[in-house]
Amino acid sequence: MTEKVLSGRIALVTGASRGIGRETALAFAKAGAHVIALARTVGGLESLDDEIKAIGGSATLVPLDLTDFDALDRLGLSIHERWGKLDVLVGNGATLGPISPLNHIEPKHWERVFAINVTANFRLIRSMDPLLRASKAGRAIFISSAAGSNANAYWGCYGASKAALDLMCRDWAEEVRNITNIKVMLVNPGRTRTRMRAEAAPGEDPMTLPAPHEITPHLVAMAAPDWQETGKIFDFPRRAVLSFRAPA
């Protein structure tokens, strides 16, 4: 993509040091956005910054653990003081947690999965909502999973966290619908060639899976000012925007 459809836009991407987050940060920078790249791994962020500079883009690096909730609040204040707005929020950072029978999961592992996959995104919504409202076209994108809507043995911890994320973001979409310029989307990337997928399915041939960069053109489109869908999920395997269905 050569068109600068995100020119002048400020985009925060969590989990930006690898996988879908890294490729999203690169794609956004290439499309003209200034990327606020958040991740725990300093080395991964510095490598990302080098790549962004090499393609003529710009980034601000934020080495931060998503469970440091007070730091997420401070980040919102810092963004306000520097730019006065946020145009795009991508909630990508997540953890897999144990693939295990529910009765075997230790509470500390359950709590960490929910802290990263759900509570951190709640804190981001809480902190970034005013900044997205200050944008002429605020866009929020959260990486979901089919595990959040399909019942699978041993996936209860991760699946429950993604189900919670889905409903939380859909609720927020309804709260800001028609009274702000914010559009909120969820994204199911499907099986993708990432480290998390390798952890979940170690016997799977990764070369049979789509690479993370293959989804990024769709994320760029959702981050652009002309995107109008909200409260829905983009299903990458089907290349389709889907409405959530009520129980039969």
Q: Is residue 158 flagged as an active site residue?
A: yes
Residue with tokens 């950072």: 93
Reading the block at residue 133, the tokens are 């409202």
| Cα distance between residue 219 and residue 193, in whole Å | 17
Cβ atoms < 10 Å from Cβ of 220: 23
Nearest alpha carbon to residue 92 among 39, 47, 160:
39
Give me the DSSP letters along the chain: --S-TTTT-EEEEESTTSHHHHHHHHHHHHTTPEEEEEES-HHHHHHHHHHHHHTT-EEEEEE--TT-HHHHHHHHHHHHHHTS--SEEEE--------S-GGG--HHHHHHHHIIIIIHHHHHHHHHHHHHHTSTT-EEEEE--GGGTS--TT-HHHHHHHHHHHHHHHHHHHHHTTTSS-EEEEEE--S-SSHHHHHH-TTS-GGGS--GGGGHHHHHHHHSTT----SEEEETTTTEEEPPPPP-
Contact 244, 174 (CB under 8 A): no
- The active-site residue out of 142, 155, 158, 172 is 158
- List the catalytic residues: 158
